[in-house]
């Protein structure tokens, strides 16, 4: 059983070879001196890759610098003993955000990516053994709700109507716009209060359904973006309608295929993606970002810098000496962060065909367990788990006759002081026992490959502050204008994308954060004219 190794690789070559599709609207520049303004992007998670494509399409020369030996960030891929494991994101929704990126390059998403709908979205298993199949089929959902509590069907329909109303404001109206000034927040406060944004997701759900099991079913979504359903702003209840509208999808070949495809688009634009290039500082002059410094001591000059690194890490470690005015070490230390994750990746020599693609295994406690994770920061003896079986949709991710899995357990982040060097193996064995008793009988005897990730790995390999898997916790006072802004408040020409900025975590969230750059980063030609006039 192995922990994630340090994945840095000596040297500077991008080791993963990526096919380059024909260029369209985002075509590479003509041979000769490249005079395009230069944007350097720190990190190649989905936010960084999407930002690179969008800036490339707007006329920038782009260089993406990645600490690890392959792109993807949290969407890293492990290949082990014939199995392929996506390290992180496995739930793809709002595919139009991906389609836009391909269209910017004159291509279609389906040219390169085989996206398959998953149904049901999730099978939710209660501690009693009862199951609820959560899907996008309205009639099937009414029937499932009615099977548990006939009196809650009408309330469920009202909840979905409320989710749609919040979606129209929180996602369609606010998800892709910057909150650079407090007046931006002031304009939307009436809508946020009218929709009950000050309530928690659980509180909002409880206004519509009575059965405690259904309250759990319709309130768990914040956990997918690092939030406690009992504290996360009810704005995140929009996820229920977002999933109904666009469905839940899986990428054939694994989520890593999206990373490969996006990297290919960047190269087709004539831009660069370099791995094993760790950025240790953002250089600046007169409070304007001028480039980055690498662990090797090399500096890379830039006309603007975009950080896809953890926002707290960016400010604490990449800008430690500029006299930060807003995101000081004290403020960052007092902010609230998401839970950590313990993730166990494993393969079996047999198949478990009765297990769905996505399964949520609930333990005996809901609020109590979340209190232990978020408030008390203690490692509980019971669990609520997300089990991913990608081979339910794509058998090629495991050897013939085998299944690939990962199980994700929310745990306290690294601020808890838990010693994972001592706790990881006992905790993995406890998860194995729980899975054996519920949905994977005989698991230990059929186990053929295994590896784990702990909050310590998130901190060391992904530079996640406090090992928080999703960055800042999505509570009301850390949302929208209250999050680190997409256009940095500390330096001119420094921009932020990813889970730690607006709008937040999750694949739609980080892709939307890159979309926000369209509103705050000037077009390359305009920036070039400005700098030319400035230097004259």
The total domain count for the chain is 3
Q: Is the pLDDT of residue 344 over 90?
A: yes
Q: Is the pLDDT of residue 141 over 60?
A: yes
Is the domain of 257 the same as that of 111? yes
Q: Is the pLDDT of residue 13 over 50?
A: no
pLDDT in tens, 153-190: 999 999 999 999 999 988 887 777 787 777 777 777 78
DSSP β-bridge partners for residue 288: 285, 492
**Predicted local confidence at residue 8, as pLDDT:** 30
**Predicted local confidence at residue 182, as pLDDT:** 72
**Predicted local confidence at residue 28, as pLDDT:** 52
Alpha carbon separation from 402 to 89, 106, 324, 347 (Å, rounded): 22, 39, 52, 7
Q: How far apart are the C-alpha atoms of 290 and 130, rounded to whole Å? A: 57
Q: Considering 185, 212, 247, which residue would you say is the last residue of a domain?
A: 247
**Predicted local confidence at residue 528, as pLDDT:** 74
Q: Is the pLDDT of residue 105 over 80?
A: yes
DSSP H helices, 5-107, are 46-57, 96-104
As given in the structure block, the two tokens for residue 365 are 């406690």
In a domain, 482, yes or no: yes
Q: How far apart are the C-alpha atoms of 91 and 507, rounded to whole Å? A: 8
In a domain, 297, yes or no: yes
Contact 459, 310 (CB under 8 A): no
Is the domain of 455 the same as that of 344? yes
Is the domain of 457 the same as that of 356? yes
**Predicted local confidence at residue 3, as pLDDT:** 35
Is the domain of 330 the same as that of 340? no
Please, which pLDDT band fits residue 32 given cuts at 50, 70 and 90?
A: low
CA angle 298, 299, 305 (to 5 degrees): 140
**Predicted local confidence at residue 196, as pLDDT:** 80
Q: Is the pLDDT of residue 45 over 60?
A: yes
In a domain, 405, yes or no: yes
In a domain, 80, yes or no: yes
Q: Is the pLDDT of residue 26 over 60?
A: no
Q: Is the pLDDT of residue 430 over 70?
A: yes
Please, which pLDDT band fits residue 516 given cuts at 50, 70 and 90?
A: very high
Q: Is the pLDDT of residue 490 over 50?
A: yes
What lies within 8 Å, CB to CB, of 383 at 6+ separation is 361, 363, 369, 409, 430, 431, 434
In a domain, 147, yes or no: yes
Task: Give the up-direction half-sphere exposure of residue 31: CA atoms within 13 A in the CB hemisphere.
Answer: 0
pLDDT in tens, 210-262: 999 999 999 999 999 999 999 999 999 999 999 999 999 999 999 999 999 99
Is the domain of 328 the same as that of 351? no
Q: Considering 204, 230, 247, which residue would you say is the last residue of a domain?
A: 247
Is the domain of 89 the same as that of 153? no
Closest CA to 309 of 69, 504, 43: 43
Task: Give the up-direction half-sphere exposure of residue 40: CA atoms within 13 A in the CB hemisphere.
Answer: 25
**Section 433-459 average pLDDT:** 98
Contact 23, 57 (CB under 8 A): no
Q: Is 397 left (phi over 0), alpha (psi -120 to 50) or beta?
A: alpha
In a domain, 22, yes or no: no
Closest CA to 457 of 483, 496, 418, 429: 418
| Domain housing 406 | 336-461
Contact 482, 472 (CB under 8 A): no
Contact 289, 304 (CB under 8 A): yes
Q: How far apart are the C-alpha atoms of 245 and 126, rounded to whole Å? A: 26
Q: What is the CATH number of the domain that holds 318?
A: 3.50.50.60
Is the domain of 159 the same as that of 236? yes
**Predicted local confidence at residue 435, as pLDDT:** 99
Buried b (16+ CB within 10 A) or exposed e, 144-176: bbeebbeebbebbeebbebbebbbebbbeebbb
β strands within 332-432, DSSP E: 340-348, 358-361, 385-388, 403-411
**Predicted local confidence at residue 494, as pLDDT:** 97
In a domain, 24, yes or no: no
**Predicted local confidence at residue 532, as pLDDT:** 56
| DSSP-assigned letter for residue 372 | I
Helix axes 46-57, 96-104, angle to 10 degrees: 40
Is the domain of 443 the same as that of 508? no
Closest CA to 122 of 408, 509, 399: 408
Q: Is the pLDDT of residue 487 over 70?
A: yes
Q: Over pLDDT 90: what percentage of the chain?
A: 82
Is the domain of 139 the same as that of 232? yes
Is the domain of 310 the same as that of 371? no
- Evaluated on CA atoms 359, 365, 367, 371, the torsion sign reads negative
Q: Considering 193, 220, 247, which residue would you say is the last residue of a domain?
A: 247
In a domain, 324, yes or no: yes
Max avg pLDDT among 323-332, 423-432, 520-529: 423-432
Is the domain of 136 the same as that of 226? yes
Task: Provide the pairing of β-strand 61-65 with 272-274.
Answer: parallel
Please, which pLDDT band fits residue 320 given cuts at 50, 70 and 90?
A: confident
Is the domain of 398 the same as that of 483? no
Unique residue bearing structure tokens 């040219």? 111
**Predicted local confidence at residue 4, as pLDDT:** 33
**Predicted local confidence at residue 172, as pLDDT:** 82
Mean pLDDT of the chain: 91
Contact 78, 71 (CB under 8 A): no
Alpha carbon separation from 40 to 34, 262, 283, 320 (Å, rounded): 15, 16, 12, 19
SS (H, E, C) 321-358: CCCCCCCCHHHHHHCCECCEEEEEEEEECCCCCCCCCE
Please, which pLDDT band fits residue 18 given cuts at 50, 70 and 90?
A: very low
């Amino acid at each position: 059983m192995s922990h994630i190794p340090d994945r840095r690789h000596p040297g500077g070559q991008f080791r993963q070879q990526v096919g380059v599709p024909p260029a369209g609207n985002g075509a590479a520049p003509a041979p000769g001196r490249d005079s395009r303004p230069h944007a350097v992007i720190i990190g190649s998670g989905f936010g960084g890759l999407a930002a690179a494509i969008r800036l490339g399409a707007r006329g920038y020369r782009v260089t993406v610098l990645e600490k690890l030996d392959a792109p993807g960030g949290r969407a890293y891929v492990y290949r082990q003993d014939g199995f392929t494991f996506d390290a992180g994101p496995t739930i793809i929704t709002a595919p139009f955000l991906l389609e836009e990126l391909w269209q910017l390059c004159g291509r279609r998403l389906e040219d390169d990516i085989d996206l398959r709908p998953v149904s049901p979205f999730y099978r939710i298993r209660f501690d009693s053994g009862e199951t609820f199949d959560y899907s996008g089929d309205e009639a099937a959902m009414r029937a499932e709700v009615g099977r548990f509590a006939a009196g809650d069907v009408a309330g469920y329909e009202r909840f979905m109507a409320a989710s749609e109303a919040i979606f129209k404001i929180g996602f369609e109206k606010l998800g892709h716009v910057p909150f650079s000034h407090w007046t931006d927040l002031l304009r939307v406060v009436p809508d946020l209060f009218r929709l009950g944004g000050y309530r928690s997701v659980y509180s909002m759900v409880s206004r519509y359904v009575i059965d405690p099991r259904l309250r759990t079913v319709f309130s768990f979504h914040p956990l997918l973006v690092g939030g406690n359903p009992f504290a996360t702003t009810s704005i995140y209840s929009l996820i229920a309608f977002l999933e109904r509208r666009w469905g839940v999808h899986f990428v054939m070949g694994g989520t890593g295929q999206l990373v490969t495809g996006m990297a290919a688009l960047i190269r087709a634009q004539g831009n660069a993606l370099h791995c094993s290039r760790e950025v240790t500082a953002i250089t600046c002059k007169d409070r304007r970002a001028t480039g980055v410094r690498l662990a090797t001591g090399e500096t890379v000059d830039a006309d603007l810098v975009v950080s896809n690194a953890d926002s707290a890490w960016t400010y604490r470690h990449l800008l430690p000496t500029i006299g930060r005015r807003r995101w000081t070490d004290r403020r960052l230390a007092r902010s609230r962060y998401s839970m950590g994750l313990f993730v166990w990746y494993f393969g079996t020599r047999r198949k478990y065909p009765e297990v769905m693609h996505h399964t949520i295994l609930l333990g005996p406690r809901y609020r109590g367990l979340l209190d232990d994770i978020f408030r008390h920061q203690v490692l509980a003896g019971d669990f609520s788990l997300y089990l991913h079986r990608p081979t339910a949709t794509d058998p090629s991710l495991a050897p013939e006759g085998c299944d690939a899995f990962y199980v994700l357990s929310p745990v306290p982040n690294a601020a808890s002081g838990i010693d994972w060097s001592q706790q990881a193996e006992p905790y993995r064995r406890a998860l194995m026992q729980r899975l054996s008793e519920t949905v994977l009988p005989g698991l230990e005897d059929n186990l053929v490959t295994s590896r784990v990730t702990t909050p310590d790995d998130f901190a060391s390999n992904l530079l996640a502050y406090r090992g928080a898997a999703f960055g800042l916790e999505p509570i009301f006072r850390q949302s929208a204008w209250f999050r680190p802004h997409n256009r940095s408040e500390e330096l001119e020409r420094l921009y932020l994308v990813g889970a730690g900025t607006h709008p937040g975590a999750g694949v739609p969230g980080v892709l939307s954060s890159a979309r926000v750059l369209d509103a705050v980063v000037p077009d390359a030609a305009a920036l070039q004219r400005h700098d030319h006039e400035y230097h004259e």
